[in-house]
Amino acid sequence: MLDNIKEFASEFFVTGDPLIYGADVSIVLATLAIVFVLTYFKKWGWLWRNWLTTVDHKKIGIMYILAAIVMLFRGGVDAVMMRTQLAFPDLNFLEPEHYNQIFTTHGVVMIFFMAMPLMFGLFNIVVPLQIGARDVAFPFLNSLSFWLFFVGAMLFNLSFVIGGSPDAGWLAYPPLSGTQFNPGVGQNFYIWGIQISGIGSLASGINFIVTILKMRAPGMTMMKMPMFTWSVFASSTTIIFAFPILAITMLLLFMDRFFGAHFFTLDGGGNPMMYINLIWMWGHPEVYIVVLPAFGVFSETVATFARKRLFGYASMVFAMVIISIISFFTWAHHFFTMGSGANVNAFFAVTTMIIAIPTGVKIFNWLFTMYKGRISFPTPMMWTIAFIPAFVVGGMTGVMLSVAPADFQFHNSYFLIAHFHQVLIGGVVFGYFAGLYYWWPKMFGFKLNEYLGKWAFWFWNIGFYVCFMPQYLVGLDGMTRRISVFSDPDWTGLNVVSTIGAYIMGIAFLFQVAQIGYSIFRHEKDTTGDIWDARTLEWSTPSPAPEYNFAVIPQVHSRDEWWEEKERRARGEQPAQYGPIEPIHMPKNSAIPAIMGACWFIAGFGLVFHWLFFAIPGLIGVFICMFARSFSAHKAEYYIPAEEVERTEATLRGSV
Amino acid sequence: MADHNNAHNSHGGERHEHGSLKSYIIGYIISIVLTIIPLVVVMNHMMERTGTIIVIMVTATLQFLVQLIFFMHVRDGEQPRWNAITLVFGILILLTIVVGSIWIMGNNAIGMKM
Amino acid sequence: MAQSPAHGADHHDHHAAGHHDPQDLKLLGFWIFLVTDVLMFSTLFATFIVLRGGTDGGPTGAELLEINGIIISTFLLLTSSFTSGLAVLAMHQNKVQQMIIWLIVTGLLGAGFIGLELNEFLHLIHEGATLQTSAFWSSFFTLVGTHGVHVTVGLFWMIAIIIQIVRRGLNSDTKGKITVFSLYWHFLDAVWIFLLSIVYLMEVM
């Protein structure tokens, strides 16, 4: 009996690596600490009522961002470990198998569980406020999306201590990810972590499209929407067309692994290359899904801090829409070397070059917006400025990669690694940081410390170039990705420099953590709700915004409505009156999303281990939750009385 | 409810059509005919391969349109018709997925035979 | 809850002041969901078409697929799509009983369709064609099965809606549910047309 348990445990838990034991201990200690703090301060009820069951888009956004920062830490630790190994390949800091797991989880965590939730966090916080709405179109579904993301992320991260991490690369190409070469449970964690969070992303995409199309304040036509909202719309459209492909691709890989089907196997008539074709049909639009909102953030910050209207609004909108459409026609450039012939490669090379054009248009628009502006340089603007050269260089190397014959040399080399890190960090991460710093006062009512923020900024930027510029060179010199050791001594120097850069970025992250920690206790309060003297409607509400966002829904006349309103007031006109305060119709909190998330977790965990006694009850639980919602949805609303709204407004505005 | 919908529809005469019994019956009959045509062609081997494929795809597409118009009332509703716009883009992506896969994987297969 | 219809009416009058008809939002949201579902099916179709040659020396579709049973299923589903439309028609005339009867007819036809599909699958498995046989059969069972799962989920969903209507009667909320459900059901019929064409007819021709 005891032996059986021991045997089970040695396979169930990941054993044998001191790094993982260390992680086990810290996870247990952190969990105990959280439980202790919540119990000691009697905060369990508060946590459940105010956060876990909330349907308020602002709180959901904050939860997304919190989770994304934790995941940024995890993915960052993975990166630093890889760089450490590559600087000293002979030390065997990581075994080759462990190295494979780490580059896999680094990629998955950074894209699915860092970039996506950070993006949805910003969507949630900003969009309803920017369009003058009280919430998203489907607040319940919004909460469910969050919980599906969260459960998917936790399931994926669990693989690291239970069962073993996936190790077939961030896109899990078969046959390596099939049962033949990968019999363990790691790839199952991969499939279900991504599948569950992917359903959440799809639902969020639908939610934001309907929100933007149907919930805009009166007077706000499509061409009067703030540019960030436009970018969310373009990104969400791309989500709803791309994520179904991912869902099915994951389903098919699951069928292969769970039921022994032959979609992507080497035997039985299957074709692994079909997987590569399908996953990139999702994968290429995915990079535009995450970068478009970053473009939206820059459009907001650049106009605010140059104190000018955004240059070329219509061309910006056009570029964004075109990018989201063309992004569906470039996928084969990820596998030029697969051998589909000159016609296919020529077509996809040309489409890839075309997509660079609208991106270039946007760069010029931002530059022209700054031209002759009265520019100030707080941290959000610094990230915006840093983005432009980083993205231009990253984009140019992308155009180099799009030349199909040349790609046969670049393919899977460190040149490619440097390219996509440059656009993903220089574009997406810089953009989301800019957004985070910019809207932080709106979320929490205070500004993050600028001094520490500038230190973090410079460490990030210097570390970024020190890390990735050498990778272009070492890639052109022939170093391929996904190797943990190399024999060419010429590569050592560049790899050591690159690793130093990675550590500098690690220090930059610590500065940001310190910045947040310090700012919680000592900060400049946002008393006006408009701390940056900005242009769009979210700044017309108090910071943080009350749960109903707007006591009275504003009437929109122009693109930069809040700026125009301030101009009108400066001319001595009366502040706009939008009518009397009425009772406000709000959705009630619901426990169903969190419970349904838990059921998905149980089901996913069971499917990972082929434990039907887990999977079936979990799935039944999911369906029970759906029916419970269907039967109770009509009771899930209430009204905030007008007097209460007036009281809240008086308190919030009274402090002005 | 229907009347209320009507009241706030800004487009005068045009409004939410829920279809009539007549439109459902017409849709049903056309669908049946469009199902039978390819069945007859296939079962009796009336055409060679390419011709049959064309008949099958054309009748299927027509029937899809019939369902959209007579059953799903895609033409109704408030302007702008976001549902129809989404559908058009969805079909563009649908064709990309199917035709693109066939094209890329077909060329791949040729490459492998050489 | 007695006031809720009154509030419903309120919403329309104040549309310009930023109120939104929840049924309008749900209908658009559901349309978009259906488009995403179209893309899920098109990914499955693309996989089926690419892998249809991959029979690995085993049984082919032309050998095992029986078109006669499929013709019956096709007409069952087509008719159920029609009857679900009749249910919506009855709903707009506020004929609750008639509507429920049409829904039940729809459900029975759908259940018949599922029964025939299960029967077909069992027959194929008996003949030696399973999910593990070859790439062709893997993609066949996954594509047809995914549609079958959709129909089955639709049946349970319909039962849940009927129970709610019996309990709460027709109001804007339950009417919205019926409208959305009927869209879903028509959509499943539309998908089936392409299954019939691309999987069955093109395989046996």
Among C16, C35, C46, beta carbon nearest to A218: C16
Residue C23 lies in a domain: no
pLDDT category at B12 given cuts 50, 70, 90 is very low
- Tally of CB atoms within 10 A around A521: 6
Among B86, B93, B107, beta carbon nearest to A344: B107
Residue C144 sits at φ, ψ, to 5 deg, of -65, -40
Residue C139 lies in a domain: yes
Per-residue pLDDT at C13: 36
d(CA A96, CA A36): 39
Which residue is closest to C51 within chain A, CA to CA?
A270
* H or E element, residue A523: none
Residue C51 lies in a domain: no
Among A136, A432, A460, residue whose Cα is nearest residue A300: A432
- The number of C-alpha atoms within 13 Å of A289 and in the hemisphere containing its C-beta is 27
- The number of C-alpha atoms within 13 Å of A96 and in the hemisphere containing its C-beta is 4
Which residue is closest to B85 within chain C, CA to CA?
C32
pLDDT: which is higher, A512 or B47 = A512
Residue C161 lies in a domain: yes
Determine, for residues A339 and B82 on separate chains, whether the beta-carbon distance falls below 8 Å: no
Per-residue pLDDT at A487: 85
Radius of gyration of the CA atoms of chain A, in A: 25
Q: For chain A, which ranges sit under pLDDT 50?
A: 655-656
Residue C189 lies in a domain: yes
* Tens-digit pLDDT profile for residues C111-130: 999 999 999 999 999 999 99
Instruction: Please name the amino acid found at residue A260.
Output: G
Determine, for residues A281 and B90 on separate chains, whether the beta-carbon distance falls below 8 Å: no
d(CA A188, CA A179): 10
Q: A553 at the C interface (CB within 8 A)?
A: yes
d(CA A299, CA A305): 10
* H or E element, residue A389: helix A379-402
Residue B95 has pLDDT above 90, yes or no: yes
Nearby residues of A406 by Cβ (< 8 Å), 6 or more positions away:
A400
Residue C77: give the domain boundaries: 66-205
Per-residue pLDDT at A654: 67
Per-residue pLDDT at B114: 43
Provide the β-strand partners of residue A303. none
Which residue is closest to C174 within chain A, CA to CA?
A634
Residue B43 has pLDDT above 50, yes or no: yes
CA-angle at B61, arms to B60 and B67, nearest 5°: 90
Per-residue pLDDT at C3: 34
Which residue is closest to C174 within chain B, CA to CA?
B1
Nearby residues of A224 by Cβ (< 8 Å), 6 or more positions away:
A556, A558, A559, A561
Per-residue pLDDT at B5: 39
Residue B113 has pLDDT above 80, yes or no: no
CATH of the domain at C181: 1.20.120.80
Residue C82 lies in a domain: yes
- Tally of CB atoms within 10 A around A299: 26
DSSP string, A85-122: HHHSGGG-SS-HHHHHHHHHHHHHIIIIIIIHHHHHHH
Residue C15 has pLDDT above 70, yes or no: no
Which residue is closest to B109 within chain A, CA to CA?
A340
Three state DSSP letters for chain B = CHHHHHHHCCCCCCCCCCCCHHHHHHHHHHHHHHHHHHHHHHHCCCCCHHHHHHHHHHHHHHHHHHHHHHHCCCCCCCCCCHHHHHHHHHHHHHHHHHHHHHHHHHHHHHHHHC
d(CA A219, CA A197): 36
- Tally of CB atoms within 10 A around B22: 9
As a whole-number percent, the residues of chain C with pLDDT over 70 amount to: 91
Lowest mean pLDDT among A189-198, C59-68, C156-165: C59-68
Chain B CB contacts of C23 under 8 Å are 1
Residue to test with chain C: of A248, A267, A274, A331, most C Cβ within 10 A = A248
Determine, for residues C50 and B102 on separate chains, whether the beta-carbon distance falls below 8 Å: yes
Domain tally for chain C?
Answer: 1
3-state secondary structure of A487: coil
d(CA A221, CA A218): 8
Q: Is A455 left (phi over 0), alpha (psi -120 to 50) or beta?
A: alpha
As a whole-number percent, the residues of chain C with pLDDT over 90 amount to: 80
d(CA A277, CA A194): 18
B35 contacts C74 by C-beta, under 8 angstroms: yes
d(CA A114, CA A201): 13
- Tally of CB atoms within 10 A around A196: 25
Per-residue pLDDT at A633: 84
Residue C15 lies in a domain: no
3-state secondary structure of A524: strand
Among A89, A85, A87, residue whose Cα is nearest residue A496: A87
3-state secondary structure of A525: strand
* Model pTM score: 0.94
Residue B47 has pLDDT above 90, yes or no: no
Instruction: Please name the amino acid found at residue C49.
Output: I
For residue B108, what are the CA distances in angstroms to A277, A515, B112, C1?
11, 53, 6, 62
For C95, the token pair is 């004929």
For B46, the token pair is 């009336």
What ipTM score was computed for the predicted complex, to two decimals?
Answer: 0.94
DSSP string, A234-250: HHHHHHHHHHHHHHHHH
Residue B6 has pLDDT above 90, yes or no: no
Per-residue pLDDT at C17: 41
pLDDT category at C7 given cuts 50, 70, 90 is very low
Residue C146 lies in a domain: yes
Determine, for residues C39 and B97 on separate chains, whether the beta-carbon distance falls below 8 Å: yes
* H or E element, residue A222: none
Residue to test with chain A: of C1, C14, C19, C40, most A Cβ within 10 A = C40
Determine, for residues A218 and C43 on separate chains, whether the beta-carbon distance falls below 8 Å: no
Residue C157 has pLDDT above 60, yes or no: yes
Chain C CB contacts of B91 under 8 Å are 38
* Tens-digit pLDDT profile for residues A64-116: 999 999 999 999 999 999 999 999 998 889 999 999 999 999 999 999 999 99
* Tens-digit pLDDT profile for residues A205-215: 999 999 999 99
Per-residue pLDDT at A30: 86
A264 contacts A253 by C-beta, under 8 angstroms: yes
DSSP string, A548-594: TS-SS-----STTHHHHHHHHHHTTPPPP-------EEEEPP-SHHH
d(CA C139, CA C196): 15
Q: Residue A50 CA to chain centroid, in angstroms?
A: 24
DSSP string, A132-190: T-SS-S-HHHHHHHHHHHHHHHHHHHHTTTBT----STTTT-TTTTSTTT--SSHHHHH
Determine, for residues B83 and C189 on separate chains, whether the beta-carbon distance falls below 8 Å: no
Residue to test with chain C: of B24, B29, B62, B87, most C Cβ within 10 A = B24
B105 contacts A277 by C-beta, under 8 angstroms: yes
A652 contacts A542 by C-beta, under 8 angstroms: yes
Per-residue pLDDT at A573: 84
Per-residue pLDDT at B112: 58
